[in-house]
Amino acid sequence: MADLFHECGIAAVYHLKNAQPTDFFPAKRAELTSRLMPRMLLDIQNRGQLAAGMTTFDPKRNQLIDTHKDVGSVTEVFHLNQRDAYNQLMSEYGGPAAIGHVRYATCGKDDKSYAQPFERHHIQKSKWFSFAFNGQLANYQELCQEILSNGDFHLARETDTEILMHLLSQELSDLRNATLLDVLNRVSSKLDGAYNIVFLNAHGDMFVARDPLGIRPLCYAIEGSLFAAASESVALANLGFASENIKSLEPGWAIFIENGQLEFKQFLPTAKPKRAHCFFEWIYFANVCSTLDDRSVYMIRKRLGEELARLETVPTDEDTIVVPVPDTAKAAADSMAFHLKVPSLEGLIRNRYVGRTFIEGNTSRADKVRAKYTPLPEVLSGKRVLLVEDTIVRSTTMKVLISQLRERGGAQEVHVRVACPPIIAPCFYGIDMSTVSELFAPKFIGAGEMTVEAEREMADAIGADSLRYLPTSSIARCVDLPRSSLCQACIDTVYPTDCGRKLYQLALGNADDDSNPDEGRTYDMPLVAART
C-alpha cells in the first residue's frame, strides 16, 4: 500500500413514505433508517480514517436535524463495540433520513471541528441545513479571498468545506423562494474542482449531487421504500440492494427528495459534456468489491496485472515468485503471476491492527512501515521476487519494504513492478499529494517520459534489482474509457480545470525555488503567483 491518502467519502439514506417497503427494510422500522448509516460508512472507510459523522432528520424532535461527529474511526465514533452506547446513540439520532461522512484531511486540521457533516443552524427551516462533500476545490484560495474581501465575513477554519457552507448559506439567503436546484446551480457555477455533495435540511429535503466532470465516484440505489447513495457501490450492496438496482449517478446530475418525492435533475447543463473520472479510484482507492461507472474495480486491477505480465523481461524459473504489497495490489499481482505461470504468494503480511494510535508519537514513517508489514522468510528465502505495488508516490514505503524483504525475508533478488505509470504531478482534486518536490519520479524524469536509464537510476535509489512502471497508455485501455474521459493529471500533467492548471504552474515554481525548501501544500497558497 503506497503512502497515499484520499480525502473522504459520503453517504445518504432516506425512507420514502409513499413507496412500498422493501423486504430488508420494512416500513415499520422507518424511524431507524439512520441505523444504516454507520454500516455504510464502515464500507467506505478506506476513503478516510481520521473522522466520521452523520446528520439525521426527525420531524418529531426539537432538533429537527442533529449531527453526531468526532475524530476517530467509524467504530470509535459510533461506539460499534459498545452495545448500550451504540443503541443509545441510534435512539437519540433516529429518523427517516440521514447523511454521513468519513474524512481524511487533505485540507485543514485534525480536530473535531473539521469533521463532517457541517451543520448550519437557523430559525427558518429552509435555511437550517447540514451537508458533507467528497473532493477538493481547486479555487479554494480564490474563494477565500472573495469572501474575506467583505469585512463583515469571517472564516473560522482553514478548509474548503467551510467555503462551501458559506456559499450554500449565501444562496439560500439571497434567493427568495429558491428551489434546491437553483441553489445547487448557483453554487456550482462558482466552483472549480471535485465536489460530490450530500445535503439535508430541517424540512427533511435532501439532495445528492455529483460534480459535472465526475472526478469522484457516486453511486445510488432505490428499492421499495429505501433510497441510499454512497461514494462506492459496496456500501449499497452490503445493505442488501440488488446489483441491478445499484447505479452510478451521472456527472452534473443530482437526486432531489422534496416533499417526499424523488426526482433526478441536471444542473449546469453543457452542450458538450466533458468527463474527467479519476483513474486512481479504480487502480488504488476504491474497495476492490466496488463497481464505479459500470466498471468493476477488481476486473480493472486484474487487467493491470495482465499488462505487467505482457511487459515482463526478467527470466522466470522455479525460484521466481510474485509477491503483492498488501492489500490493493493483490488483484494485479495474482493476475500477473497467472499469466507468467509462477506462484503469487503472500510474502508480506500486513498487521491490520497497526493504524492511527496515540502511541505513535514521533515515530518515523520507516518505523511505521516496519511495524505494519512482516516479511515471511519461509516464502521469500532464496527467491527471485517480483514485488507488485499499485503505485509509488514518495518512495519511503518501498525503500523500507525492499530492505525488509532482503534482510528479514532473505530474498535473493527484488524486482519492483508498479501497476501504474510514474506519478509526476500533484493532485488538486482530493488526493493527498500537493507538491512536486514530495514526489519520487520527477526527481529522475521531471514531467517527461520514462527511459530505461531513468528506471535503472530509480531502481538503484530504492534498492531494487530492477523497476518497471506501466506506460501511461495502459490506463485508458485497462479502465476501458477514452483518455478524454479520464483525469490522469498526476501521470501526464493534463489538468481538467482552469485552477488545476494554475496550481500546477505554481507547484512547479515552488519546486524550483531553492529558497523555499519547506513549501506548504500548493492549494493552501494564493493563485496570484500562478498567473504571472
| Gap between the Cα atoms of 190 and 145, Å rounded | 13
Q: Give the start-end residues of each E strand in 163-294.
A: 193-201, 206-209, 219-223, 226-230, 246-248, 253-258, 261-266, 277-278, 291-292
Residue in this structure with the C-alpha cell 488545476, named with its chain if needed: 500
Confidence grade of residue 532 (pLDDT, cut at 50, 70, 90): very low
**Top-tier CATH class for 297-354+364-483:** alpha beta
Rounded to 5 degrees, φ, ψ at 531 are -90, -15
Degrees (nearest 5) of the Cα angle 113, 284, 1?
85
**Top-tier CATH class for 8-133+195-274:** alpha beta
**8 counts as catalytic:** yes
| Gap between the Cα atoms of 430 and 166, Å rounded | 20
Q: Which of 8, 144, 219, 478 is catalytic?
A: 8
What is the per-residue pLDDT for 102? 96
* Whether pLDDT at 526 is above 90: no
What is the per-residue pLDDT for 363? 56
- Burial (CB count <10 Å: 0-12, 13-18, 19+), residue 451: exposed
Q: Tally Cβ neighbours within 10 Å of residue 352.
A: 9
Longest dimension (CA), the chain: 74
| Gap between the Cα atoms of 15 and 95, Å rounded | 9
What mean pLDDT do residues 460-476 have?
97
What is the per-residue pLDDT for 471? 96
Residue in this structure with the C-alpha cell 432528520, named with its chain if needed: 57
What is the per-residue pLDDT for 27? 45
**DSSP states of 240-272:** T--GGGEEEPPTTEEEEEETTEEEEEE-S--SS
Residue positions counted in the chain: 532
Tens of pLDDT, residue by residue over 30-69, are 556 789 999 999 999 999 889 999 999 999 999 999 999 9
Tens of pLDDT, residue by residue over 79-130, are 999 999 999 999 999 999 999 999 975 454 567 889 999 999 999 999 999 9
| Gap between the Cα atoms of 88 and 205, Å rounded | 26
| Gap between the Cα atoms of 531 and 503, Å rounded | 9
Domain ranges of the chain: 8-133+195-274, 297-354+364-483
Beta bridge partners of 264: 255
What mean pLDDT do residues 124-152 have?
93
> Range with the lowest mean pLDDT among 172-181, 389-398, 500-509?
172-181
Cell numbers for 81, please give them. 463495540
Q: What does pLDDT average to over the chain?
A: 89
Instruction: Report in angstroms the alpha-carbon separations of 524 from 142, 159, 506, 514.
Output: 10, 9, 11, 19
3-state secondary structure of 208: strand
